[in-house]
Amino acid sequence: MSGFLGSLKLLWGKRFKLTGPFCPNAPAGPAYQELTPDQKRAIAAYVCDVADLLGFCLKTASEKFSDQVETEESLRSLATTLFIATQRHFGL
């Protein structure tokens, strides 16, 4: 057993058998449809834009806070906070 279910077994020491959807009250969605080339390009552009924003937040956090934090993890946390705040502020 691996992945998510393996993690559950490690956490609680029990085996879980999932027989239905994770959200039983969720409406059934349409069957999966292959993405069009335009959709793939739009997704790729969005992912690149988000990555650029995250990189900018990391750079800014490093410039502004590197003398105030002791660990790389703290800088990543500050960058993540800036990233989330920016997304919320601008509705991204």
Amino acid at 48: C
pLDDT tens across 20-76, in order?
555 555 556 666 678 899 999 999 999 999 999 999 999 999 999 988 988 999 999
Instruction: Return the pLDDT at 34.
Output: 86
Residue among 48, 90, 87 at smallest CA distance from 79? 87
Provide the token pair at 24. Answer: 């039983």
Predicted TM-score (pTM) of the model is: 0.60
Q: What pLDDT, on the 0 to 100 scale, is given for residue 2?
A: 47
Q: For residue 21, which amino acid is it?
A: P
**What would the two tokens of residue 79 be?**
């960058």
